[in-house]
Amino acid sequence: MAIRTRFSRSFLFSNYSKSNFRNALGSRRNVQISRRACSKFQIPGYSLNVSRLSPNEVTSTIRANEYSQDFPTGPVKSYDTNQLASNNPIEDTRAEGKSLLSDAFLVGVFDGHAGAACAQVLAKRLFKYVAASLLSGEEISKLHTSLRDGGESRIIDYFNDRYEFVNELKSLYAQSFGKYVEDLASGQSTASIPNVPEALVTSFLRLDSDISREASTDLQGSKTLSVSMSGAVACVAVIQACHLHVATVGDCQAVVGIMTESKTWAAKKVSIEHNSDNMEEVERILSEHPPGEKTKIIERERLLGQLAPLRAFGDFRYKWSREELERLAVPRYGKTVIAPHYETPPYLTAKPDVMYHRITPKDKFLVIASDGLWDLLSPLQVVRMVGEHMSGRAALSPLRLPHNMKLKDINTILEQRKDGLNKVPVDRNGATHLIRNALGGSEYGGVEHSRISQLLSLPQDVVRLFRDDITITVVYFDSDYISHCPL
């Protein structure tokens, strides 16, 4: 993008530590990348002088942000997640949680641009909006009454969430959420049960609208304006029993790993990308503006020649009227904040496309990731890697045989475990396994230590030329639970 303004996480959070997200070796300057390696990344003639990292240093770096969570019951058996920064601070965020008011499990990846502020806010706020939208009319009325009477507004049980907004933002965001619940309560009958795709669309658009309103009415301005002028794409999955809904805004992707009848892995994409490769999306945008703008709206495969994703949260420099930009943004960011050929806004929306997938026992896992992963691996490669990782990890678990099992069946299980031992992974976390293979995978299989070492040793001022921030969450389904789900 033309605008690369950075907004420190400390503007938003009360206990932020940059060391949690900094590439452990990103500040090194002594790194050696050959001309041949650079040409492989299509930067001919670019040469760096650098040292290699040891295998232990590589492992320490890529495991720094990994996390795993197991569940005793329900459709989700466990999940693995990890992040690897390219930007400093990282512009990706992630969130996982369970609704305290329903059976919904939510997982999301948020890829920020022009700073990390908008993505950070989405990770902390969007699930509450979604969870409220998924309640029946009677349940939303109870929630509204509780909030009105000063009750607890915590409706999501987040996992691996270490941050809290600063008090002024916490209060402002609580007011916005309370007003949303009030509007939901006044607009629903007590018997209504929401349609999940509609609930996702409503919650996404309302949060984006609230971010705009907060920036334009908050007298303090600096923090809320920072959120509104940065942007983020999002991919959020809602799992309820055997039902999977995936809402996408932008170019994060989600894929389901399926074990076929022939015991091979298949990948099913359950997300829609909003970029210039999606011709339906390009045509949609062009159809919303006068024919005279047709050659100006998409230039160099970017919105107004600047923004790669064609849908996003925030980014109100592509949504507000010219008058609003002159009043709110120009005084702080200057005239260049208004894009060339800015004639008939809005050019951008946060409305998601929602895909539905009925989870079956053949569906073993879901992978959601930012485009930092998909730039390096295809959906099928990702599914095969996670599938092999599952087999290898299972071979290390204790063997428990049911009573009265036939010798032939026992022999089959032992043969499967023997095969799995040949695939025992270096990393127990599936997301870390993907990061290691995405950065170090060779054309002949396996991981080249020299390759991953070089990519992890790049100085901060050039690393973004070679790789993007990577955020991955792998959700493993419980096949036994799924097999008993009603049709």
DSSP 247-286: EEESS-EEEEEEE-TTS-EEEEE-----STT-HHHHHHHH
The mean pLDDT of 103-129, rounded to a whole number, is: 97
> Which SS3 state, helix, strand or coil, does residue 412 take?
helix
Tell me the two tokens of residue 28. 């090194």
CATH of the domain at 328: 3.60.40.10
Between the CA of residue 45 and those of 31, 35, 276, what are the distances in Å? 16, 6, 29
pLDDT tops 80 at residue 411? no
Tell me the two tokens of residue 479. 């096949």
Classify residue 388 by its DSSP letter.
Answer: H
Instruction: Please tell me the distance from the alpha carbon of residue 26 to that of residue 264, in angstroms, as a whole number.
Output: 39
The answer as to whether 357 is a domain residue is yes
**pLDDT of the residue at 253:** 98
Give the count of domains, the chain. 1
Instruction: Please tell me the distance from the alpha carbon of residue 259 to that of residue 262, in angstroms, as a whole number.
Output: 8
The answer as to whether 51 is a domain residue is no
What is the domain extent for residue 237? Answer: 92-254+271-364
Region of poorest pLDDT, from 75-89, 149-163, 196-210, 388-402 = 388-402
**pLDDT of the residue at 150:** 85
pLDDT band at 222 (very low <50, low <70, confident <90, very high): confident
**pLDDT of the residue at 43:** 46
The answer as to whether 387 is a domain residue is no
The mean pLDDT of 78-103, rounded to a whole number, is: 96
Task: Identify the CA nearest to 253 among candidates 155, 355, 337.
Answer: 355
DSSP string, 91-135: -EEEEEEEESSSS-EEEEEEEEESSSHHHHHHHHHHHHHHHHHTS
pLDDT band at 14 (very low <50, low <70, confident <90, very high): low
The overall average pLDDT reported for the chain is 86
pLDDT tops 80 at residue 454? yes
* Highest-scoring range by mean pLDDT, 6-20, 440-454, 472-486: 472-486
pLDDT, greater one: 190 or 7 = 190
Name the packing angle between helices 196-217 and 222-229 (round to 10°).
130
> How many other CB atoms are found less than 10 A from the CB of residue 324?
17
The answer as to whether 471 is a domain residue is no
**Torsion, CA 460, CA 466, CA 471, CA 476, rounded to 10:** -140
The mean pLDDT of 37-51, rounded to a whole number, is: 48
The answer as to whether 168 is a domain residue is yes
Phi, psi values for residue 324, rounded to 5°: -65, -40
The answer as to whether 40 is a domain residue is no
pLDDT tops 70 at residue 190? no
The answer as to whether 8 is a domain residue is no
> Which SS3 state, helix, strand or coil, does residue 450 take?
helix
* Contacts for 170 with CB less than 8 Å, ≥ 6 apart: 164
The answer as to whether 296 is a domain residue is yes
**What whole-number percentage of the chain has pLDDT above 70?**
82
The mean pLDDT of 473-485, rounded to a whole number, is: 95
**pLDDT of the residue at 402:** 66
Q: Are 446 and 436 in contact (CB under 8 A)?
A: no
pTM: 0.86
Classify residue 218 by its DSSP letter.
Answer: -
